[in-house]
Amino acid sequence: MTADVFLTQLERCLHSLTAEERENAMTYYREYLEEAGEDSEQAVESLGSPQSVAEQILSEMRENQNITLEETKTATPSSNAGNTILGILIIIVTSPFWGTLTILWLMLLFSLAVILLSMIFSAVLAPIQGISLLSGHLTGEGLWAIGSGIFCLGMALLLWKPMFLLCQYLTRSFFNFCRNSFNILFRKDI
């Protein structure tokens, strides 16, 4: 097997690595085979098949990643204890802010719901009142009430989706803000 064929097959076998890791491995073996010069075919035979070389590279990468993960796991717990206590103290001290923010969020949602519900009730009750006024010979007021009901129905139909999306956006923003604040306070994902 020639060096070019070996390197092509090796690169194909290392597809699961990141581009940087794959390039580092390929550079190493390319240089190794270039240094062999005219004896590159013997060097290829001494390395073995591209699949076995790739398996060796992948196993070494896994071992290095396991060691790195174990080092970070042993280093992290000592620093998290102090961060947790400090984070809890900050939450307690800033609770008036968090409470006010929560009440504001709830009041915005409640206000949007009340506006939409009042339009729906007006769309139902105003025409009923208009019909009763028409039967009492107050045609102007009756027509005005029926028109107001139809207008409220149209507004409710036009605004229900934007209001729903606004409530969804406000809720998502509020919880993202809380989650990001807790992540900063405790230096971890919640």
For 160-173, give the DSSP string: HHHHHHHHHHHHHH
DSSP label of 2: -
Q: Where are the domains of the chain?
A: 3-75, 80-186
Residue 43 tokens read as 């060097």
Contacts of residue 83, Cβ cutoff 8 Å, sequence gap at least 6? 185, 186, 187
**pLDDT in the model for residue 80:** 56
CA distance 51 to 31: 19
Cβ count within 10 A of residue 72: 9
**pLDDT in the model for residue 190:** 44
Residue 131 tokens read as 């019909």
Rounded to whole angstroms, the maximal C-alpha distance in the chain is 112
CA distance 47 to 41: 10
CA distance 96 to 169: 24
3-class DSSP state of 149: helix
Nearest C-alpha neighbor of 58 from the set 4, 21, 9, 6: 21
Nearest C-alpha neighbor of 183 from the set 96, 54, 80: 80
**pLDDT in the model for residue 73:** 55
pTM of the model: 0.45
**Phi and psi at residue 27, in whole multiples of 5°?**
-60, -45
Residue 55 tokens read as 């398996």
**pLDDT in the model for residue 149:** 93
Mean pLDDT in consecutive groups of 10 residues from the start of the chain, 190 residues: 84 84 86 81 84 85 68 52 71 82 89 92 91 85 92 92 89 85 65
